[in-house]
Amino acid sequence: MSSEHKKTDVILIGAGVMSATLGALLKELAPDWNIKVFEKLAGAGEESSNEWNNAGTGHAALCELNYTSEKPDGSVDISKAVKINEQFQLSRQFWSYLVQHKLIRRPQDFIMPIPHMSWVEGEKNVAFLNKRFKALSQNPLFQGMEYSEDPRKLKEWVPLMMEGRTSQEPVAATRITSGTDVNFGALTRLLFDHLQSRKVEVHYRHAIKDIKRTGDGLWKVKVHNLSSGQTESHSAKFVFIGAGGGSLSLLQKTGIPESRHIGGFPVSGLFLACDNPEVVERHHAKVYGKAKLGAPPMSVPHLDTRYINNKKALLFGPFAGFSPKFLKTGSNLDLIGSVKPNNLFTMLAAGAKEMALTRYLIQQLMLSCEQRMNELREFIPNAKSGDWKVVVAGQRVQVIKDTPDGRGTLQFGTEVVSAADGSVAALLGASPGASTAVHVMLEVLSKCFPQHIKSWEPKIREMIPSYGIPLASRPELLKDIMASVNQTLGLGEEEPQKQANFR
């Protein structure tokens, strides 16, 4: 066993889409800074960011019903949907900048246009969808959204979903063609190729075991080289913990006061996947339904067209479940190991409050194959078991923390936790996830580099023209940005040739 001590400016822990995005932003803003990345697996984008471990939806609130709620006066609150859409616009602009400057190539390898649809059944839900449509379609961010209750129209939009439908319940859908399918695994790999070409040292099969502050204000990380078996020591002025489900335990090791009273609740997921071309070719949309009563927001059922490795596929799910692991490649001791004296009461309070959620997850875990197929048949009435196989998705670790709403409150969003001096930051939580990576990493930059952010702003605006601007209130700017980004990323009108490459 040997120990070396090597200094650098920045250490990024984990080679997922978050570290990739932060690394790519920093390489443009501070090109001279030395950056090292440590990843315990053998490649980039192997955990949650992998294409088969998430649903690949470019979350822009075009179809996700859980981003709009009904207010007590019966009107629909679209503020969250507007916020998420604007955050996704930041990601699109940054990806477009990278493509335009040939820092990453072939956008069709990671982003494809696909209609986004919301789908509901039953009178009450139809009335809600109609109100939601009216509220959203007046906003420039959601321009082009269509609504229909007409079975003929719906058959045109989603033939597979209408075939064999016998229920007398009214159905309705909204459809917007500016939606996207994003292969976050491919994007992560492209970003890491770019970083390596810019002299970023990326060390695969290197697991971070400990993080401690040194006397001179640096952070020292203890790294286990899984190939050689040796333990190394590296230090940096700034450490970003982008370890996905592994972030909480590493954040706890820093000992910063901000890491206290935070816990994690793992939710596992399964998808049903179909690659039978006869079925796949008859569906062309991401269709999001309504969460079942008592189900958490991340288990909203959806049927998605996916573009993965030059092939089209359909994905349905996710079926949530419970596993004590914090990463798909994690350990059964992750949950128990995350309980510390400083978060014990937070965790116990959450446990007591979230019994219904735990029961729901266990119930989901116990579903038989046929029960899962029956849930799919609510979307595709004629679905045949032989066409679908189970795919194990990534783990999501939901944040538990004490809030004004009470001790041990489960959070469904993402949280950047950083030290007061900005020398270390961790990303916790999973939703809306990879789609908002650019927005979240810009938040890391402004929290951790307040002394640089002003001088970086002109470059940030060059890369991301709507940075700091609420696009919903600037329709002309939105139109210009959309047109330019669509052209660079190949997202205009769906090009038949482009679609044909994926058969």
Ligand X SMILES: Cc1cc2nc3c(=O)[nH]c(=O)nc-3n(C[C@H](O)[C@H](O)[C@H](O)COP(=O)(O)OP(=O)(O)OC[C@H]3O[C@@H](n4cnc5c(N)ncnc54)[C@H](O)[C@@H]3O)c2cc1C
Where do contacts with ligand X occur on this chain (CB under 6 A)?
Answer: 13-19, 38-41, 46-49, 53-57, 59, 184, 207-208, 242-244, 246, 250, 269, 318, 327, 393-394, 396, 427, 430, 432-435
Measured between alpha carbons, how far is 89 from 362 in angstroms, rounded to an integer?
37
Q: Between residues 154 and 303, which has the closer beta carbon with respect to ligand X?
A: 303
Measured between alpha carbons, how far is 239 from 396 in angstroms, rounded to an integer?
22
Concatenated DSSP letters for 402-432? EETTEEEEE--S-EEEE-TTSSEEEEE--SS
Q: Between residues 297 and 450, which has the closer beta carbon with respect to ligand X?
A: 297
Measured between alpha carbons, how far is 498 from 113 in angstroms, rounded to an integer?
10
Write down the least CB distance from residue 319 to ligand X, Å: 10
Measured between alpha carbons, how far is 256 from 8 in angstroms, rounded to an integer?
21
Q: What angle do CA 413, 458, 469 make, to 5 degrees?
A: 45
Write down the least CB distance from residue 155 to ligand X, Å: 26
Q: Between residues 248 and 482, which has the closer beta carbon with respect to ligand X?
A: 248
Q: Between residues 149 and 210, which has the closer beta carbon with respect to ligand X?
A: 210
Q: Between residues 251 and 274, which has the closer beta carbon with respect to ligand X?
A: 251
327 φ/ψ angles, rounded to the nearest 5 degrees: -130, 155
Write down the least CB distance from residue 163 to ligand X, Å: 26
Write down the least CB distance from residue 270 to ligand X, Å: 9
DSSP code of 108?
G
Mention every residue, 6+ apart, whose C-beta is less than 8 A from residue 480.
Answer: none
Cβ(263)–Cβ(343) below 8 Å? yes
Which residue minimizes CB distance to ligand X? 16
Write down the least CB distance from residue 436 to ligand X, Å: 7
Q: Between residues 239 and 279, which has the closer beta carbon with respect to ligand X?
A: 239
Cβ(73)–Cβ(67) below 8 Å? no
Write down the least CB distance from residue 43 to ligand X, Å: 9
Q: What angle do CA 338, 340, 345 make, to 5 degrees?
A: 105
Write down the least CB distance from residue 139 to ligand X, Å: 21
For 80, counting Cβ atoms within 10 Å of its Cβ (0-12 exposed, 13-18 middle, 19+ buried), the class is middle
Q: Between residues 205 and 407, which has the closer beta carbon with respect to ligand X?
A: 205
Cβ(233)–Cβ(3) below 8 Å? yes
Write down the least CB distance from residue 475 to ligand X, Å: 25
Q: Which amino acid is at 17?
A: V
Q: Between residues 49 and 305, which has the closer beta carbon with respect to ligand X?
A: 49
Write down the least CB distance from residue 391 to ligand X, Å: 10
Measured between alpha carbons, how far is 59 from 62 in angstroms, rounded to an integer?
7
User: Residue 327: enclosing H or E segment and its boundaries?
Assistant: none
Q: Between residues 16 and 301, which has the closer beta carbon with respect to ligand X?
A: 16
Measured between alpha carbons, how far is 392 from 319 in angstroms, rounded to an integer?
10
